[in-house]
Amino acid sequence: MSSGNDCRPQTFTKPAFGEKEVTELVDRVFGLKVSWIRPLPSYDDQNFHVHVSRKEAAEGADEYVLKITNSEDSQEPDLIEVQTQAMMFLSAEGFPSATPFLTKDGNIMSLESGGTGPGNKKYMVRLLTYLPGIPVAKIATNAQIFYDIGQLAARLDKALSEKFHHPSLKSLHRGQFIWNLANVPLLDQYIYALGQNKYREVVEQVIEQFKGRVIPKLSSFRACINHGDLNDHNILVDCSSVSLENPQYRVSGILDFSDMSYGYYVFEVAIAIMYMMIESPDPLGVGGHVLAGFESVLPLTEEERGALFLLVSGRFSQSLVIAAHTALLYPENKEYLMITAKTGWKQLMKMFEVGQEAVEQTWFETAKAYGTSAPA
């Protein structure tokens, strides 16, 4: 859900390539003959599911995702390089991550002009392996998948932070990146998009509490590399049981690394909790299961646990405010942009109605019941 690399999400141009143009591009840049393509939903990039003829496909693969990055992020090749290399690293480490199909020149990406957007914009293009599976957003979720996603979030950040090396890692220090959880205070300049209502009052409350109670404690949190967007559409699962009454799922794919940045371990678990709340009939109960999975790998400290409520609230606020702002600029993409808003406002309002103490008690007691480690 990236919206540019700084606090100006309105500066990006979303690509607008036609299917015929994409078919020609895949042939010219990657040397593959397209048999069919279909567009995939996206926040500010443009994605296509690409099927190539079997004899053209490398190593038996015949399905890919063509990712055309928005004009703003396309100006940061080092950042896209690091994100793509991180995906390759994670795949090699056994995570279900996509890997790039190389261009005819042997590169992982290519800068291309095209589409119907304004001016002669250039867009970074990559062809990634297609990962099978169902988005978490489309299944009946349960405690087991929430626990597994929490565990995955911790394992993923731990692997990236401890074992991933690249000469351009510094590009992940994205100081003013609107989607980094540390930057909740930057929402001040976009909150106008909400109008004047009870929702805006709650978001203003989140921002002020965040400034006073989270920002001063950031230096006490453990730093790491965050995926930054483990949402219900970026995690794919497949069914690992034959029981129709009680299906068991396992994670089969991790998508979209465009929000990667340096952050803190507690950010990742807060982001995962927030998006899993969207998918549950018992949203306030979700956090404990995700937290238990996360803490089975990385127990949080007392300071990190104490910030969790405001971090989850902060991510709700980011998602809801930036979606409202972006929908004003791109009304044709409003349906996709406002996916989280359908239930997100209800969940955020409920959190504040119940109160931090009661919500935390639910989360921490649920996590404790799993028998995971006490806070580090």
**Token pair 């890692």 is at which residue?**
169
Q: Which residues pair with 250 in a beta bridge?
A: 238
Concerning whether 229 is annotated as a catalytic residue, the answer is yes
**Tally of CA atoms within 13 A in the half-sphere of 344 that contains its CB:** 28
Longest Cα–Cα distance of the chain, Å, equals: 60
What type of residue is 172? L
- From residue 30, give the alpha-carbon distance in Å to each of 102, 193, 291: 7, 41, 42
CB 14 within 8 A of CB 333: yes
Report the C-alpha gap between 141 and 249 in whole angstroms.
Answer: 9
Report the C-alpha gap between 334 and 302 in whole angstroms.
Answer: 39
Closest CA to 228 of 260, 255, 183, 270: 260
Length of the chain: 376
Q: Which of 45, 148, 229, 256 is catalytic?
A: 229
Residues known to be catalytic? 229
